[in-house]
Amino acid sequence: MTVATLTSEAKTRSRGRPREFDMDAALDSALRVFSKRGYHATSISDLTEAMGLASGSIYKAFKDKRGVFLAAFGRYRQLGRRRLEAMIASAETGRDKVFQMVMYYTELSYGETGRKGCLVVGGANDFALLDEEAAVHVVTAFAADEKLMADLIRIGQADGTIPETVDPAAAALAFLCFTKGLRVIGKTGRSREEMMSAAEAAMKLVT
């Protein structure tokens, strides 16, 4: 079962009755709680407070906490991918596209935003090891980022802004490790200057 299917089922369970809450707004609130506290430390009462819903409404729409997490995970990936692709599209060269992808994660990894953490990284650490379906979603999310970065590196090699000596697959994996690591370190309150310096150092992978 995919996240899209789960979200669809959550929406269709109440088909025939008027919508009592905004699904997207509720999931946005839930993902903020999961990102900050992690899956196991988040309780149904935390979710009811954040989402502004009674526990009965949550159980009807999502069945349980796991259902809320998977639906929120799907929305998180959808919104994040949309913003990332917009940033990449604004860059003209392959190297600049790589830089925009690095900057996307860098900007999320300092200050108050950084302290909120990442639902994908948090899911990998906190939930995926205990749940096969969640693990598939996390692995898929990581693989999508790795493939996108490799594709951007190849674009840079085609337009001459990235050396042919760079191994796209190896560099993409290194960037994946770097960007996900940024989200972890960001929870410790690092400054913008520190993260920008790290991003500049990481770009040496494609020099």
Express each pLDDT in 15-48 by its tens digit: 444 446 789 999 999 988 888 888 888 999 999 9
Q: Answer whether 98's CB lies under 8 Å from 206's CB.
A: yes
Question: pLDDT: is 146 or 16 the higher one?
Answer: 146
* Residue 187: C-alpha distances to residues 77, 103, 115, 121, 194 (Å): 19, 17, 4, 11, 13
Tell me the per-residue pLDDT of 153-203, one tens digit each, with 9 for 90 and over. 999 999 999 999 999 999 999 999 999 999 999 989 999 999 999 999 999
Separation CA 119–CA 51 (nearest Å): 17
Q: Tokens 């594709």 belong to which residue?
A: 151
Burial class of residue 151 in the structure, from the number of CB atoms within 10 Å of its CB (0-12 exposed, 13-18 middle, 19+ buried): middle
Q: To the nearest 10°, report the CA torsion of 160, 163, 164, 167.
A: -130
Q: Answer whether 119's CB lies under 8 Å from 34's CB.
A: yes
The type of residue at 192 is R
The pTM is what?
A: 0.80
Per-residue pLDDT, 12: 47
Per-residue pLDDT, 124: 67
Separation CA 167–CA 154 (nearest Å): 9
Tell me the per-residue pLDDT of 123-138, one tens digit each, with 9 for 90 and over. 666 766 677 877 888 8
